[in-house]
Structure 1
Amino acid sequence: MSVELPITGTCHCGAVSYEMKTQPKYAVECNCSICRRLGTVWGHGEAGEIEIKSAPEATLSYSWGDKELAFHSCRTCGCTTHWEGIDGEARGRMAVNLRLAEPGTIEAIGHRHFDGADTWTFLD
């Protein structure tokens, strides 16, 4: 399926928004320790395909473990908006939280479940 491009989304208060210029292959729900707690559904892409629009310092960044990913959340309303690859194989990659896009976006792309907690494979 396809969606109208660009895919756009915004946090609840509107301080942080994104524009994804290409459609991700899947909308991915991961069960790793952070993603299951955040309740996110990710649209993955290259950093050059995604534009984050916000004022400087509008997001809080969180990174742990191998420090390859930095998860960003709005400082005002707390919505998790995106992650960016900051080291290792993830460098140059990004993902946006598709739950912040228009209703129906996830279903139009196709929703897959990823086992990031154990097998590192898709479960469907």
Structure 2
Amino acid sequence: MANEGEGVTGSCHCGAVRIKVPNPPEWVASCNCSLCTKLAWLVAYYPDDAVTVSGETVPYIWGDRMIGIHHCPICGCGTHWKTLGEDFGRMGVHARLLDGFDPAKVEVRLFDGR
């Protein structure tokens, strides 16, 4: 993956939203909830303060209203999720947006979100 020594960067399709994480994910979650299934998200988890998201995002809030699932308002790519209340000590980043990410090279853990 690109830039492993200085963190890993990525972006949405149009480049308006940029993401930087400290390191490549060792594993990602593949959730089977109705939203993640439709959007093909593979989520990498990081501490909130370890992720930099620059550019405007819009949260989509649904279900139990525990998290805001952010996307780029220009191209529509889902970028990350953050908690809306209780601090989970982490946030999720859409790993497919990270430069050089190859899902064949990381462990994919299935998460039953239904």
TM-score bracket for the superposition, by shorter chain length: 0.7 to 0.9
- Structure 1 residues 10-49: aligned runs within 5 Å: 10-49=11-50
Taking structure 1 as the reference length, the TM-score comes to: 0.78
CA RMSD of aligned residues (A): 1.9
TM-score where L is the length of structure 2: 0.84
Counterpart CA distance in 1 for 2:8 and 2:28 is: 12
Runs of 4+ in 1 over 6 A off after TM superposition: none
Alpha-carbon distance change, 25 to 82 in structure 1, aligned in 2, over 3 angstroms: same
Partner of 1:111: 108
Query: Structure 2: any 5+ residue segments left out of the alignment?
Result: none
Counterpart-to-counterpart distance in 1, 2:101 and 2:54? 22
Partner of 2:9: 8
In the alignment, the residues of structure 1 paired with residue 8 and residue 31 of structure 2 have an alpha-carbon distance, to the nearest angstrom, of: 20
Equivalent residue number for residue 120 of structure 1: none
What amino acid is the match of 2:4?
Answer: E
Aligned-pair CA distance for 1:109: 3.3
Q: Does 1:79 align with 2:77?
A: yes
The one-letter amino acid paired with 1:60 is V
User: 2:16 corresponds to which letter in structure 1?
Assistant: A
Q: What does the per-residue CA deviation read over 1:73-123, in whole Å, with 9 as the maximum and x for residues that have no partner?
A: 100000001111122253x42111111112444333322221111xxxxxx
